[in-house]
């Protein structure tokens, strides 16, 4: 089946080389074909997405879709399919699918996998959904840091660990979300849809922030949209979650505290709540006194740590805050950066177009000065910019001796399981959590500064254990028990200080987690390099190294000038010349008719045979550092028909 609809196009907000430009159609289409037809990688790949000519494309073995976005009458963006061949790979977007462990197991069995172990519940794309797929794909390509192509692996085919995340599917993208405290409806289990970018504006509304002339999800200010100020943050892709807010004169929170249990699956949390009535009592207490989203909250794409944490902390998708992946390529400087690998001092990677909650609290309530203003804290949290206390920016407030003493005092909270199982990583993350607990206890009890007005507290153990043991393992349950003990210690401290009743609590994660077949050792992007393509690969991203070629045939028809530049501009905004590129001229059946190499300026001249018609002449450009280009003499690209190559007439 092929369908076509009228075009409406609003492409990437800040073009900067992301997606496929006119000079990259050849290499882009070839790379997509490799990913979908390679005998090993093809069966592991769910789909490949890109942006081309302002249109968003999703290619899969089962079919493809092209869609555009435009301004919606009610605000924000609307999306429209303009072409479809075969099955639309992301048409199923039900956010309520696979909401329980039992449903995940049933989907695995329906996918043809044997057994009822939730920790090996491998699910094929046919039994998955992709909530908010158009929005989450399109936002990525708004950033100049975005790739040319992004690979979405099958849910069980990504990496070497029993648990994994990063993909668009409902299992890896769904996070738990709980709000509890002043202004929240108590005891609510809501089926309302939520996104992680909704958390920051909900906190802002509950804490009494004023509406400002900031940018909404379309990147336009209220003034540019011709409306009164209608957002709480400098860039606000999300909206307040009004379904959980108690409007019956409830007191406004005096402070907010986010507990982020990294990588915890929403279905795993619900399973514990349903089947272990005596377990996780402190989380159960917060949930019972607040509102829980039954179907969780949907996170950034890719659904992975550094982008997702900063989406929560800014209310803006990764394509707008610019930390698009744990590792990504900066075209203008030709360097790979890895905020997640670096861990510390990563606030500088956050884009200027967004505002963190720390910055917003300071804007509204003043900078911290002794006993005045808003004091904010980031505890082991990858979103750090503007925080007064920020562990990962190496800005630690509090007596170091007391921090060490409290860390030692609560060392017994660490389960012996990790060392018994030889899991040094889990043991280390447990120690980190104990250090985070010590920081929280000091920050709220130190008399040299006011209690934090806003705290964002990352608890990493559930993520590390989910990777190493699997998302529905005994290890994950032990990790959640540990986190609950630490949360309980913080809640009791707040009660003892008279701070509990005035605190708005948020419990969430940065992404979900899916069981992974570790035996596959799947690494889709590496297959592109192995196939000979010139690219920078930062899984699941692919940045193609291409040349922009201009052919100018002179009026006499006997010569032509060929200019070869790097397709990606450098820091000056210009495309650098490519020296030493081999340029050949050929025609059908006649072999090479002319050959030349480009100068330091990226230019060469080639003779043209007088007897050959211009439409029969072809120019080929080769350089060892770039993908080859094939063009007609008039500059029109020559490359394979991807639709025919993938689908022929079979779909």
Q: How high is the pLDDT of residue 651?
A: 55
Neighbours of 590 (CB within 10 A): 13
Q: Is the pLDDT of residue 589 over 80?
A: no
d(Cα 484, Cα 283) in Å, to the nearest integer?
6
Model pLDDT for residues 500-532, shown as the tens digit of each residue: 999 999 999 999 999 999 999 999 999 999 999
Summarize the confidence of residues 596-620 as an average pLDDT: 91
Model pLDDT for residues 47-87, shown as the tens digit of each residue: 999 999 999 999 999 999 999 999 998 899 999 999 999 99
Distances (CA, A) of 404 to 18, 408, 490: 46, 6, 17
**Which token pair is 189?**
């289990």
Q: pTM value?
A: 0.96
**Which token pair is 565?**
């530049």
Q: Is the pLDDT of residue 8 over 70?
A: no
Which of 262, 241, 270 is CA-nearest to residue 179?
A: 241
Cβ(224)–Cβ(213) below 8 Å: no
Neighbours of 170 (CB within 10 A): 29
Q: Which domains does the chain have, with CATH numbers?
A: 2-94+129-161+518-544 (no CATH), 172-515 (3.40.720.10), 547-647 (2.60.40)
Q: How high is the pLDDT of residue 4?
A: 42
Q: Is the pLDDT of residue 638 over 90?
A: no
Summarize the confidence of residues 352-381 as an average pLDDT: 97
592 Cβ partners below 8 Å, 6+ apart? 584, 585, 586
Return mean pLDDT, the chain: 95
Q: How high is the pLDDT of residue 395?
A: 96
**Which token pair is 384?**
């750090």
Percent of the chain residues topping a pLDDT of 90: 90
Q: Is the pLDDT of residue 450 over 60?
A: yes
Q: Is the pLDDT of residue 5 over 60?
A: no
d(Cα 81, Cα 67) in Å, to the nearest integer?
4
183 Cβ partners below 8 Å, 6+ apart? 206, 245, 246, 250, 251, 252, 253, 504
Q: How high is the pLDDT of residue 6?
A: 43
Q: How high is the pLDDT of residue 550?
A: 95
**Which token pair is 170?**
């409902």
Output Rg (C-alpha) for the chain, integer angstroms. Answer: 27
Q: How high is the pLDDT of residue 39?
A: 96
Q: How high is the pLDDT of residue 1?
A: 40
Summarize the confidence of residues 328-344 as an average pLDDT: 97
Residue 225 pLDDT class (50, 70, 90 cuts): very high
Three-class secondary structure assignment of 473-535: CHHHHHHHHHHHHHHHHHHHHHHHCCCCCCEEEEEECCCCCEECCHHHCECHHHHHHHCCCCE
Neighbours of 354 (CB within 10 A): 27
Crossing angle of helices 266-275 and 101-110, rounded to 10°? 120
Model pLDDT for residues 235-274, shown as the tens digit of each residue: 999 999 999 999 876 789 999 999 999 999 999 999 999 9
């Amino acid at each position: 089946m092929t369908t076509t609809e009228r075009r409406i196009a609003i492409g990437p907000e800040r073009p900067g080389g992301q997606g496929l430009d006119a000079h990259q159609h050849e290499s882009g289409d070839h790379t997509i074909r490799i990913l979908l037809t390679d005998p090993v990688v093809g069966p592991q790949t769910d789909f490949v997405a890109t942006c081309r000519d302002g249109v968003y494309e999703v290619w899969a073995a089962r079919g493809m879709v092209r869609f555009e976005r435009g301004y919606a009458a009610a605000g924000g963006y609307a999306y429209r399919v303009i072409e479809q061949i075969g099955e639309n790979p992301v048409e199923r977007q039900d956010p309520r699918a696979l909401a329980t462990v039992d449903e995940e197991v049933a989907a695995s069995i329906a996918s043809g996998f044997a057994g009822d172990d939730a920790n090996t519940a491998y699910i094929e794309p046919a039994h998955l959904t992709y909530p908010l797929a158009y929005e989450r794909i399109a936002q990525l390509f708004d950033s100049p840091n975005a790739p040319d192509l992004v690979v979405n692996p099958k849910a069980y085919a990504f990496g070497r660990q029993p648990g994994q995340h990063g993909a668009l599917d409902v299992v890896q993208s769904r996070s738990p979300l709980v709000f509890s405290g002043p202004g929240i409806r108590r005891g609510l289990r809501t089926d309302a849809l939520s996104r992680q970018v909704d958390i920051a504006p909900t906190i802002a509304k509950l804490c009494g922030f004023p509406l400002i002339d900031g940018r909404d999800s379309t990147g336009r200010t209220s003034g540019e949209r011709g409306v009164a100020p209608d957002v709480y943050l400098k860039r606000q892709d999300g909206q307040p979650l009004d379904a959980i807010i108690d409007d019956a004169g409830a007191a406004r929170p005096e402070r907010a505290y986010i507990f982020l249990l990294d990588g915890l699956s929403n279905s795993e949390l619900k399973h514990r709540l349903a089947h272990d009535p005596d377990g996780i009592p402190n989380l159960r207490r917060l949930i019972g006194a607040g509102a829980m989203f039954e179907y969780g909250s949907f996170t950034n794409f890719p659904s992975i740590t550094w982008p997702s944490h900063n989406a929560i902390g800014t209310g803006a998708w990764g394509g707008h805050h610019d930390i698009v992946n744990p590792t990504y390529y900066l075209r203008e400087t030709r360097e790979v950066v890895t905020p997640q690998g670096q861990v510390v001092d990563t606030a500088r990677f956050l884009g200027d177009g967004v505002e963190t909650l720390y910055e917003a609290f300071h804007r509204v309530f003043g900078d911290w000065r002794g006993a005045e203003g808003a004091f904010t804290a980031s505890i082991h949290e990858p979103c750090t910019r503007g925080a007064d206390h920020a562990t990962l920016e190496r800005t630690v407030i509090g007596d170091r001796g007391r921090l060490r003493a409290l860390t030692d005092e609560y060392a017994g909270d660490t389960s012996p399981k990790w060392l018994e199982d030889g899991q040094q990583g889990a043991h280390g993350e447990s120690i980190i959590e104990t250090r985070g607990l010590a920081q929280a206890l000091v920050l709220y009890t130190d008399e040299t500064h006011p209690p934090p007005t806003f705290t964002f507290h990352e608890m990493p153990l559930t993520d590390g254990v989910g990777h190493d043991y699997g998302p529905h393992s005994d290890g994950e349950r032990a990790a959640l028990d540990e986190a609950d003990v630490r949360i309980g210690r913080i809640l009791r401290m707040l009660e003892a200080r008279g701070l509990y009743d005035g605190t708005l609590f948020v419990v969430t994660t940065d992404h979900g987690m899916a069981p992974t077949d570790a035996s596959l050792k799947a690494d889709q992007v590496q297959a592109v390099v192995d196939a000979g393509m010139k690219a920078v690969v930062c899984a699941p991203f692919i940045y193609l190294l291409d040349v922009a070629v201009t052919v100018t045939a002179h009026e006499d028809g006997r010569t032509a000038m060929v200019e070869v530049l790097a397709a990606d501009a450098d820091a000056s905004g210009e495309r650098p010349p490519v020296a030493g590129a081999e340029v050949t001229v050929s025609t059908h059946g006649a072999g090479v008719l002319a050959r030349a190499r480009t100068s330091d300026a990226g230019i060469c001249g080639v003779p043209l045979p007088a007897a050959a018609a211009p439409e029969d002449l072809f120019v080929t450009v080769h350089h060892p550092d770039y993908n080859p280009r094939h063009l007609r003499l008039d500059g029109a690209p020559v490359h394979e028909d991807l639709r025919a190559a993938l689908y022929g007439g079979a779909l």
